[in-house]
């Protein structure tokens, strides 16, 4: 939305500048040319912003993109889910949607998790590479701490949220970050996760 406002302001400034720089007899012709050039240059941005503004959430529960913006269908997505009382600052009360260029354009307060999904990615083949790109796109809001073991990478915390801060860990119980792929628990770790062109990977805290 902020891009739309900025472009509208630029359009007004161009109109004023061109309109004031030419005589009455050439004003309409000059303005028309300036407007056409402006629209040609800004069309990709206008198209993207319009798609975001008119996007709806996928309502097919059988779709791996269920609950996500429909402009992400066929694209790759990473979601980070937190218990309400442990959501990072700025991500309380809803699940927020962040496009692949870092623009937060939608939120869903009715979803049963808080946190964010970052999507619109393409061509990633490995889970860790996609996750790293999502973290970068978020501006580091979902940076993670991990430990490398011989069997793979263990995620210890995301956005400074340790599962044992959410649920008490002891000799008989504990909590961990669960990795899901297209709605199902992943059978491999994030470093070995092979992606599909429309993969949705999700991190959420589970207890045992």
Contact residues for 26 (Cβ-Cβ < 8 A; gap 6+): none
State what percent of residues in the chain have pLDDT above 70.
90
What is d(CA 190, CA 33) in angstroms, rounded to the nearest whole number? Answer: 52
Residue 44's pLDDT is what? Answer: 74
- Please write the tens of the pLDDT for every residue from 28-71: 777 787 778 877 777 676 677 777 889 999 999 999 999 999 99
Average pLDDT, the chain: 90
What is d(CA 108, CA 192) in angstroms, rounded to the nearest whole number? Answer: 31
The residue among 20 and 194 whose pLDDT is bigger is 194
Q: Which two tokens stand for residue 103?
A: 């623009």
Residue 27's pLDDT is what? Answer: 73
- Please write the tens of the pLDDT for every residue from 122-163: 999 999 999 999 999 999 999 999 999 988 899 999 999 999
Q: What is the mean pLDDT of residues 75-88?
A: 95
The residue among 29 and 85 whose pLDDT is bigger is 85
Alpha-carbon 142 to chain mean position? 11
pLDDT band at 3 (very low <50, low <70, confident <90, very high): low
Residue 136's pLDDT is what? Answer: 98
Residue 46's pLDDT is what? Answer: 66
Residue 35's pLDDT is what? Answer: 76
Q: Structure pTM? A: 0.81
């Amino acid at each position: 939305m902020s891009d739309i406002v900025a472009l509208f302001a630029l359009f007004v400034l161009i109109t004023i500048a061109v309109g004031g720089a030419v005589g009455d007899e050439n004003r309409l012709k000059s303005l028309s040319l300036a407007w056409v050039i402006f629209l040609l240059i800004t069309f990709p941005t206008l198209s993207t912003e319009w798609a975001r503004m008119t996007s709806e959430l996928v309502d097919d529960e059988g779709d791996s993109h269920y609950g996500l913006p429909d402009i992400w269908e066929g694209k790759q997505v990473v979601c980070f889910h937190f218990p309400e009382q442990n959501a990072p600052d700025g991500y309380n009360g809803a699940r927020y949607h962040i496009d692949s260029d870092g623009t937060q354009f939608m939120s869903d307060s009715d979803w049963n998790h808080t946190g964010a999904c970052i999507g619109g990615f393409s061509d990633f083949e490995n889970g860790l590479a996609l996750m790293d790109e999502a973290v970068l796109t978020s501006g580091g809001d979902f940076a993670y701490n991990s430990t490398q073991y011989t069997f793979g990478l263990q995620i210890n915390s995301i956005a400074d949220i340790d599962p044992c801060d959410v649920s008490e860990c002891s000799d008989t119980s504990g909590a961990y970050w669960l990795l899901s792929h297209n709605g199902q628990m992943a059978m491999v770790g994030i470093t070995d996760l092979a992606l599909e062109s429309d993969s949705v990977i999700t991190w959420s805290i589970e207890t045992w």
